[in-house]
Amino acid sequence: MLHSIDAFLAYLAEWGVQLPFDAELQRGPDAPLATSLAVQGHRIGNRFAVLPMEGWDCTADGLPTEATFARWRAFGRSGAKLLWTESAAVRKDACSSPTQLILNAHTVEAIARLRETAVAAHAQAFGRTDDLHIGLQLTHAGRLSRHRADGVRTPFIAHHHPFLDPQYGLTAQDTVASDDEIETLIDDFVASAVLAAQAGFQFVDIKSCHGYFGHEILCAKTRTGAFGGSLENRTRFIREIVQRAKARVPTLQVAVRASVFDGLPYQADESGVGQPVTYDSYPFGFGCDLHGQLDLTEPIEFVRHLYALGVHLVCLSGGSPYKNWHLQRPQLAVRAGEYLSPEEPLLGVARHIAVTAALKQACPELTVVGSGYSYLQQWLPNVARAAVRLGLVDVVGVARILLTQPTVLHQVLSN
Ligand SMILES: Cc1cc2nc3c(=O)[nH]c(=O)nc-3n(C[C@H](O)[C@H](O)[C@H](O)COP(=O)(O)O)c2cc1C
């Protein structure tokens, strides 16, 4: 445990971790983390966001249960003024678990009540909601699809992958999603966006992160046809959804959460520690080159293009929990079956912040939400304050830390 600022800074120096850090914190409305910002006419009352965290606690037909309501209530009370809520599947076979939230005509009313629950909890805790911004993440799980009650996977893949295919029992003979199937999926995303607006959400996020379909299609360099190969083709899926959703509901803000950096897949060595699996050439990443090294050329072009299409709010993440979890979720403790972290997790936090800052710098007009801060634990306020004050990020998003400390953001802002 690193209980003093000196000990923490010495530890960072020892590991060569470069993090923004403000030793002095500040309370009150002028504190950097307490200032509001506006995105496309929407006011966000402070610089904290709750990041999406699905709980796999819905009914088989995608309706929220009391556990789902409790989670949304807690997020409403968290103190964050931006609630980037959990992934809702755009149809049943798009679910990553048989108990994921689904947005369709049957569930839209219940999902509207979920949103109202978060708003009511926020109003009760903080007295005002005019500066609360709430969006719903829309998703297709892609190769991670697992909607059936018996738990059998039903992968919907954008391209074959040398590491992931064998993990999920796929062979070269299994078919990839056709262009027509992708066009149908675009229709489904657009229909869900219309329903999300009907449910009262101010924005929808077209999920493009963590190995799910919207991310995999960005990586589909080996795919042929209209959705593969060139960056223009690989972004066609998201561009079509954005354009069509905006045309159908001009008042709905369309946002994107994307994995904008990546690397090679990792697997455990004999001592359990993650080691990269190497390939002569690795044309399967978005935000990395053919050797798996960080390369932000395409992500920079991507976010600039999104901005030109009217996507002014993005949330940036990296990697995928299914092939290199430590890139996406810096931590020391691991789940059963996972390799041990190959790096000091603070390096992973620093990578998130540096990549996010690079994209923010490349497209300063974008409102950028960062991820991966939870591992900072008690140093979250110091790093978050510095990151916002220095303009490295607009909004600090947090996920896991809220599971153990649901009101930590309010505590940071008020004390
Ligand atoms: C239980 C759990 C569920 C998650 N569900 C989602 C999700 O539905 N959509 C998403 O984009 N990310 C999801 N994530 C990833 C988080 O949003 C976040 O990117 C990650 O936990 C790193 O941020 P943190 O360090 O603040 O936890 C989930 C993470 C956890 C721990």
- DSSP conformation letters of 360-407: HHHSTTSEEEE---GGGGGGHHHHHHHHHHTTS-SEEEE-THHHH-TT
Bridge-based pairing state of the strands 133-139 and 37-39: unpaired
Q: Which amino acid is at 163?
A: F
Assess whether pLDDT exceeds 90 at residue 183: yes
- Residue 189 half-sphere exposure toward CB, CA atoms < 13 A: 32
**Domain presence at residue 396:** yes
**Domain presence at residue 7:** no
- What average pLDDT does this structure show over 291-309? 98
- What average pLDDT does this structure show over 73-83? 98
Two tokens at 101?
């939230």
**Domain presence at residue 6:** no
Which of 56, 329, 349, 403 is the pocket-test mutation for ligand 1 (most atoms within 8 Å of CB)? 329
Integer Cα distance of 255 and 234 in angstroms: 18
User: Which H or E run includes 325?
Assistant: helix 325-328
Q: Answer whether 212 contacts ligand 1 (Cβ < 6 A).
A: no
pLDDT for 415 equals: 81
Assess whether pLDDT exceeds 90 at residue 204: yes
Band (276; pLDDT cuts 50, 70, 90): very high
Protein residue closest via CA to atom 5 of ligand 1 = 53
* Packed helices 380-389 and 345-362: angle between N→C axes, nearest 10 degrees: 20
Residues above pLDDT 90, as percent of the chain: 97
Strands annotated E in 253-370: 253-261, 266-268, 274-276, 313-318, 367-370
Q: Answer whether 374 contacts ligand 1 (Cβ < 6 A).
A: yes
**Domain presence at residue 71:** yes
**Residue range of the domain that includes 231:** 31-414
Protein residue closest via CA to atom 31 of ligand 1 = 400
**Domain presence at residue 348:** yes
**Domain presence at residue 18:** no
Assess whether pLDDT exceeds 90 at residue 235: yes
- Residue 231's CB is within 10 A of a number of other CB atoms, namely 16
pLDDT for 219 equals: 98
Q: Look over the chain and give the mean of its residue pLDDT values, rounded to a whole number.
A: 97
Q: Are 17 and 345 in contact (CB under 8 A)?
A: no
Separation of 280 CA from ligand 1 center, angstroms? 32
pTM of the model: 0.98
Cα dist from 295 to 108, 209, 292, whole Å: 40, 17, 9
Residue owning tokens 């190969």: 229
CATH (domain of 37): 3.20.20.70
Q: Are 69 and 76 in contact (CB under 8 A)?
A: no
Integer Cα distance of 268 and 38 in angstroms: 45
Protein residue closest via CA to atom 20 of ligand 1 = 329
Separation of 52 CA from ligand 1 center, angstroms? 6
Q: Answer whether 318 contacts ligand 1 (Cβ < 6 A).
A: no
Considering only CA atoms, which of 358, 295, 299 is closest in space to residue 370? 358
Ligand 1 atom nearest the C-alpha of 371 is 23
Please name the residues in contact with 84: beta carbons below 8 A apart, sequence gap of 6 or more: 49, 50, 51, 52, 135, 137, 205, 255, 257, 315, 369, 397
**Domain presence at residue 391:** yes
- What average pLDDT does this structure show over 239-262? 98
- What average pLDDT does this structure show over 84-106? 98
Separation of 226 CA from ligand 1 center, angstroms? 31
pLDDT for 2 equals: 83
pLDDT for 47 equals: 98
Q: Answer whether 52 contacts ligand 1 (Cβ < 6 A).
A: yes
Which of 51, 82, 216 is the pocket-test mutation for ligand 1 (most atoms within 8 Å of CB)? 51
Q: Answer whether 352 contacts ligand 1 (Cβ < 6 A).
A: no
Q: How many domains does the chain have?
A: 1
pLDDT for 334 equals: 87
Assess whether pLDDT exceeds 90 at residue 191: yes
Protein residue closest via CA to atom 1 of ligand 1 = 53
pLDDT for 333 equals: 87
**Domain presence at residue 177:** yes
Separation of 403 CA from ligand 1 center, angstroms? 11
Integer Cα distance of 266 and 285 in angstroms: 13
Separation of 225 CA from ligand 1 center, angstroms? 32
| 3-state class (DSSP) for residue 164 | helix
Integer Cα distance of 156 and 19 in angstroms: 39
The distance of Cα 332 from the centroid of its chain, to the nearest Å, equals 20
Protein residue closest via CA to atom 18 of ligand 1 = 399
In the chain the first and final C-alpha atoms are separated, in Å, by 22
Q: Answer whether 223 contacts ligand 1 (Cβ < 6 A).
A: no
Q: Answer whether 86 contacts ligand 1 (Cβ < 6 A).
A: yes
The distance of Cα 70 from the centroid of its chain, to the nearest Å, equals 21
Considering only CA atoms, which of 89, 28, 27 is closest in space to residue 62? 89
